Amino acid sequence: MDMSEKGAIIRIRGLKNSFGDQIVHDGLDLDVRRGEILGVVGGSGTGKSVLMRSIVGLQQPVAGTIEVFGEPIAGRSEEEAQDMRRRWGVLFQGGALFSTLTVAENVQVPLREFYGDLDDRLLDEIAAYKVAMSGLPAEAGPKYPSELSGGMRKRAGLARALALDPELLFLDEPTAGLDPIGAANFDELTESLKKTLGLTVFLITHDLDTLYAICDRVAVLADKRVIAVGTIPELLALDHPWIQEYFNGPRGRVAADATKRHSGNGRDADRPMTELGA
Ligand SMILES: Nc1ncnc2c1ncn2[C@@H]1O[C@H](COP(=O)(O)OP(=O)(O)OP(=O)(O)O)[C@@H](O)[C@H]1O
C-alpha cells in the first residue's frame, strides 16, 4: 500500500465511465486525503463533473471501485446510501437552487429530507445559521434566488451544501462567473470552512488563482484518467504538455506571480482587468 492511501476519505480505482461509444474515464485512480482541499483541473470535457457525479452516486460507472469514508458506494441499500449522502454536501455548477423556494427554504430542503421531524422554528434557526456561515447577510434568507447576485447564489448553494454539517464538500466551479474580488472572497470562505470545520474539499475549478491560493494538492485530468496529483511545485516538475501549458502559460504565470507578491491568498483582486485577460 502506498502512503497516499493512508487516511484517504475518497479512494477511486480503475474507474471507467462512458456514454454510448464515448469513453470519458478509463482506468482512473485517485485518492483524496482527509482534511485537504484537492483542486481538480483538466481541459473542457475531460470529465471533471462526471467524476464528481460518480463519487456522489449520480453517475453509474461502467467499471472500477469508489470508496468514500472507507466504504464502497456501489451495492448499498437505500438506507446505507442515505447515511452516506448525509455526510457530504454538494455545490453544483450554478448553485442548482430551487427557484420557487427562498434561500432559507432551499437550505431546509436537506434538513427536511433527513430529519423530517424537526419543528419549524428549529429549521428556521439552523437555516439562518448556515446562511450566516456562508457569508450572506440575514436579509438574504427570505429572498428568492432570482433576487440574488451570482456570488450570493453561490453562497446560498454553499449554505444548502453545509446544511447537514458535512465532513466532505464537493464544489463544482464555485468561482466561475465571479469578479476577482468575489472569487477571492469565496476562496477565503472555502479555506476558513476547511480550517474551522475540518472539512475535506473536492474542488473542480478552472481558476488558477484558486489553485494557488487555497488548494493543498491538485489532480490533473487528461487522457481519460488522473495523470498527476500533487502540489503545484510537484506538478510543475513534470513535463506533460498540458500541465506545462496550463501552469506556465500566460495566465498561470500571472497567478504564480500574484502568489509571490501576496503571500497567503494568491489572487490579486486589485490587478487591472487587462492583465487578467478579461
Ligand atoms: N449525461 C450525459 N450524457 C451524455 N454525455 C455526457 C453526459 N454528461 C457528460 N457527458 C459527456 O462527458 C464528457 C465529460 O463531461 P464533463 O461535464 O464531466 O466535463 P468537464 O471536465 O466537467 O467539462 P467543463 O470543464 O467544460 O465543465 C463530455 O464530453 C460530455 O459531453
Looking at ligand 1, which residue's alpha carbon is closest to its atom 31?
45
Report the residue among 18, 22, 24 best suited for mutation to probe ligand 1: largest number of ligand atoms under 8 A from its CB.
24
Instruction: Give the distance (Å) from ligand 1 centre to CA of residue 111.
Output: 30
C-alpha torsion sign, points 121, 124, 125, 126: positive
- 253: cell is 504565470
Location of C-alpha cell 474551522: 196
- pLDDT the model gives residue 23: 96
**Percent share of the chain, pLDDT over 90:** 64
User: pLDDT tens, 171-219?
Assistant: 999 998 888 888 999 999 999 999 999 999 999 999 999 999 999 999 9
Looking at ligand 1, which residue's alpha carbon is closest to its atom 17?
49
* Cα angle: 193, vertex 199, 204; to 5 degrees: 85
Least confident span in 198-202, 260-264, 273-277: 273-277
Q: Is 102's pLDDT higher than 80? A: yes
Ligand 1 proximity of 64 Cβ (cutoff 6 Å): no
Instruction: Give the distance (Å) from ligand 1 centre to CA of residue 243.
Output: 20
Give the contacts of 118 (CB within 8 A, at least 6 positions apart). Answer: 111, 112, 126
Task: Identify which of 166, 167, 170, 163 has the alpha carbon closest to the alpha carbon of residue 111.
Answer: 163
Taking the C-alpha atoms of residue 211 and residue 252, their distance in angstroms, rounded to an integer, is 10
Spell out the domain ranges in the chain.
35-49+78-268
User: pLDDT tens, 51-76?
Assistant: 999 999 999 999 999 999 999 999 88
Ligand 1 proximity of 23 Cβ (cutoff 6 Å): no
Q: What sections of 102-228 are H helices per DSSP? A: 103-114, 120-133, 150-161, 180-197, 208-214
Q: Is 1's pLDDT higher than 90? A: no
Ligand 1 proximity of 42 Cβ (cutoff 6 Å): yes
Where is pLDDT greater, at 211 or 250? 211
Strand partners, 10: 32, 68
Select 35-49+78-268's CATH number: 3.40.50.300, 3.40.50.620, 1.20.1260.10, 3.20.20.70.
3.40.50.300
Taking the C-alpha atoms of residue 101 and residue 163, their distance in angstroms, rounded to an integer, is 15
Task: Identify which of 171, 151, 275, 268 has the alpha carbon closest to the alpha carbon of residue 213.
Answer: 268
Taking the C-alpha atoms of residue 165 and residue 199, their distance in angstroms, rounded to an integer, is 9
Instruction: Give the distance (Å) from ligand 1 centre to CA of residue 47.
Output: 5
Looking at ligand 1, which residue's alpha carbon is closest to its atom 14?
47
Task: Identify which of 222, 168, 224, 175 has the alpha carbon closest to the alpha carbon of residue 55.
Answer: 168
- pLDDT the model gives residue 93: 84
Ligand 1 proximity of 54 Cβ (cutoff 6 Å): no
- Measured in residues, the chain has a length of 278
User: pLDDT tens, 5-47?
Assistant: 567 999 999 999 999 999 999 999 999 999 999 999 999 999 9
Q: Is 274's pLDDT higher than 50? A: no
Q: From residue 121, give the alpha-carbon distance in Å to each of 16, 80, 230.
A: 45, 29, 45
